[in-house]
Chains A and B, each alone.
Chain A
Amino acid sequence: MATAHLIAVGSSPLGKTDLPGRDLFSRAIAEAFEGLPDPADVVDGLYVGAQSERYENQIMQGTLMAEWAGLRNVPAERVEACAAAGALALKNAVRDVRAGVHDAVLACGVEKMTAGGTEGATNALGAAFERALEQRSGITAPATYALLARRYLHETDATERDLARIAVKNHRNAASNPRAMFQQAVDVETVMDAPDVAPPLKLYDCAPVTDGAAAVVVANDEVAADLQRRHDAVHVAGVGSAANNLAVAERDLTFVEGANVAASTAYEDADVDAADIDVAEVHDAFTVCEALLAEAAEFAPKGRGIETVEDPGDRSAGWTDVQINTSGGLKARGHPIGATGLLQAIEAYEQLTDRAGERQVADANTALLINEGGVADAHTVAHVLTHND
């Protein structure tokens, strides 16, 4: 099996922008290929993660993005698993390179979420939920996650203030991330006093509606050696994914089992344990997700995931030393749905190559990415990334 390296990354500005999806993609590609030959001379195919065609009334994003990157007559496919679409693009690119199907593949993601206003985004996201009983009951994304949060607060010692501290931590991290949508810190009182969205979740418990695109070039040994200094390379050591039920009612509301399976599979593939992970980007679409995923990734004992905000030395016994969502997470870096899984990979790439500036975690060598779609772990994709040294 060939090794799949990440050799270049790029992203567009994140937030509400005046650029349509394809132009956001162009920005991400322009950054990723700075100093490299043209995409057509590097990659043999493309996967693009895109949650919904409703935003811009456009399917066939594979073909369109390939065109905009100057690729012709190559496999170019859109992949979809709601918010896990970006990591699914990465997973497929890694699979192709590992299997020797392609020498290099472009994994990218794009979402123009503001194109239809708040109502357009609500309706597009709503399609991710089970239709017959749940959509027809009028639920929304915040409401489904609020059902998880309410139960989590009921079963554990965690409080709404603990969830607020997760938002505060992620805003603080985003403040030193030049890619982030929100680059200002917030305090706990601001989070606690913000309007309700779906109780117990308030405005700052929720990731924003974001426009954005991201791209990652995945390549085998030969292409990686040709295009970059080897001491600077990151490779994908492990991959895992799993689907859980679509209906939230049929899920364990306080244990994201699908995410646990995906992470465990990725650990096994990489031959590492949870304790080996130095930095993790986990899918904090809502603050409670960060706590649930810290537990599912086996960083934290059950019910103590909220200690993600504490310095490693101050956490309960059974916690690892991992630093979670150094990018600011979905919460504060931004959450352009189809691009999010790649934005997680970009943060890991920057951490593992010592490019993370003020938010750099010392001696970061191994990273875990968890990208989820649907309600929580309806679909989860996990990757373990490791520095080549």
Chain B
Amino acid sequence: MTDTDSTTTGPLAPEDITAESPFTLPGFFDALAAGRLMAARCTECETHLLPPRPACYNCGSRAVTLSEQPRTGEVVSYTSVKRPPSAFEHLAPITVAVVELDSSARLTGRVTASLESVAIGDRVELRVCDPETVDIDPEFNLSYEEEWPVHVFDRL
């Protein structure tokens, strides 16, 4: 999959920053629920920003554009959480990894495999889960997070 850049490039106008825009968390998670993983891409230095945000941390530019991300990438680093925060206890031990997508965007996520079966460089694919299937303690969620999907990585 290649990046599908939006036609608009920042700086964002105030009216662009709404709950429908993937430049905000509600818009980012709505897109994710619909199967689209969005990042911002800096048009000055090509840094990917995931989740999208209005400015580039690498060079300071606000000339950012939206870019749909590939689902596949590789494990940069990984570990296992033996005693996670209480809301995640039922998932323990949790294998977590930093994954670099094929676009070079990076994000952290759970890996659906045991620690022993994961290595740096492993190929993984992002999968989007309904929050109810993950069964995170509802008390953990803030009011606006209740419907947000949860992502995991499956080994390829």
Name A's B-contacting residues (CB within 8 A): 118-119, 122-123, 126, 132-140, 142-143, 146-148, 150-151, 154, 196-201, 245, 247-250, 253
In the complex, chain A residues whose CB is within 8 Å of the CB of B97: 147
Contact of B108 with A139 in the complex, beta carbons under 8 Å: yes
Contact of A151 with B51 in the complex, beta carbons under 8 Å: no
Most central of B81, B110, B120, B148 by chain A CB within 10 Å: B81
Contact of B106 with A140 in the complex, beta carbons under 8 Å: no
In the complex, chain B residues whose CB is within 8 Å of the CB of A135: 85
Contact of B120 with A150 in the complex, beta carbons under 8 Å: yes
Contact of B79 with A138 in the complex, beta carbons under 8 Å: no
- Between A and B, 8 residue pairs with Cβ closer than 8 Å are A126-B85, A139-B84, A140-B81, A143-B81, A150-B79, A245-B57, A248-B98, A250-B49
Contact of A123 with B86 in the complex, beta carbons under 8 Å: yes
**Among B4-12, B62-70, B88-96, the stretch in contact with A:** B88-96
From A133, A139, A154, B51 is in contact (CB under 8 Å) with A133
Q: A132-B51, A151-B120 are in contact. Are A137 and B78 (CB under 8 A)?
A: no
In the complex, chain B residues whose CB is within 8 Å of the CB of A154: 77, 120
In angstroms, Cα B87 to Cα A135, docked, is 10
From A119, A138, A200, A247, B81 is in contact (CB under 8 Å) with A138
State how many angstroms separate the Cβ of B124 from the closest Cβ of chain A: 13
Interface hits, B4-43 → A, CB 8 Å: 25, 28-29
In the complex, chain B residues whose CB is within 8 Å of the CB of A249: 50, 98-99, 106-108
Known: A122-B85, A133-B50, A143-B80; 14 extra A-B contacts, CB below 8 A, are: A118-B83, A132-B25, A132-B28, A134-B108, A136-B145, A140-B85, A146-B79, A150-B77, A150-B120, A151-B77, A151-B98, A198-B80, A245-B57, A253-B98
Q: A133-B51, A140-B85, A147-B96 are in contact. Are A253 and B77 (CB under 8 A)?
A: yes
Please, what's the 1-or-0 string for B42-66, where 1 marks a CB less than 8 Å from any CB in chain A? Answer: 0000000111000001000000000
Contact of B25 with A137 in the complex, beta carbons under 8 Å: no
Contact of A248 with B108 in the complex, beta carbons under 8 Å: yes
In the complex, chain A residues whose CB is within 8 Å of the CB of B110: 137-138
Residue of B with least CB distance to A150: B77
Name B's A-contacting residues (CB within 8 A): 25, 28-29, 49-51, 57, 76-88, 91, 94, 96-99, 106-110, 115, 120, 136, 145, 148, 150-151
In angstroms, Cα B77 to Cα A4, docked, is 43
Contact of B77 with A137 in the complex, beta carbons under 8 Å: no
Contact of A136 with B150 in the complex, beta carbons under 8 Å: yes
Contact of B79 with A199 in the complex, beta carbons under 8 Å: yes
In the complex, chain A residues whose CB is within 8 Å of the CB of B85: 122-123, 126, 135, 138, 140
In the complex, chain B residues whose CB is within 8 Å of the CB of A136: 136, 145, 148, 150
In angstroms, Cα B148 to Cα A132, docked, is 9
From A126, A138, A147, B98 is in contact (CB under 8 Å) with A147
In the complex, chain B residues whose CB is within 8 Å of the CB of A126: 85
In angstroms, Cα B76 to Cα A200, docked, is 15
State how many angstroms separate the Cβ of A374 from the closest Cβ of chain B: 14
In angstroms, Cα B49 to Cα A119, docked, is 32
State how many angstroms separate the Cβ of B108 from the closest Cβ of chain A: 4
Contact of A133 with B80 in the complex, beta carbons under 8 Å: no
In angstroms, Cα B25 to Cα A143, docked, is 24
Residue of A with least CB distance to B142: A131
In the complex, chain B residues whose CB is within 8 Å of the CB of A142: 81
Contact of B80 with A199 in the complex, beta carbons under 8 Å: yes
Most central of B91, B98, B151 by chain A CB within 10 Å: B98
In angstroms, Cα B119 to Cα A194, docked, is 23
In angstroms, Cα B120 to Cα A200, docked, is 13
For the complex of A and B, the 8 pairs showing the least CB-CB separation, nearest first, are A146-B79, A138-B88, A151-B77, A138-B84, A249-B108, A249-B106, A147-B77, A143-B81
In angstroms, Cα B19 to Cα A311, docked, is 57
In the complex, chain B residues whose CB is within 8 Å of the CB of A199: 79-80, 115
In angstroms, Cα B94 to Cα A10, docked, is 41
Q: A132-B25, A138-B81 are in contact. Are A143 and B106 (CB under 8 A)?
A: no
State how many angstroms separate the Cβ of B36 from the closest Cβ of chain A: 15
State how many angstroms separate the Cβ of B142 from the closest Cβ of chain A: 8
Residue of B with least CB distance to A244: B57
From B57, B84, B109, A140 is in contact (CB under 8 Å) with B84
In the complex, chain B residues whose CB is within 8 Å of the CB of A147: 77-79, 96-98, 108
Q: A122-B85, A123-B85, A150-B77 are in contact. Are A133 and B120 (CB under 8 A)?
A: no
In the complex, chain A residues whose CB is within 8 Å of the CB of B98: 147, 151, 248-249, 253
Residue of B with least CB distance to A247: B108
In the complex, chain B residues whose CB is within 8 Å of the CB of A133: 50-51, 107-109, 151
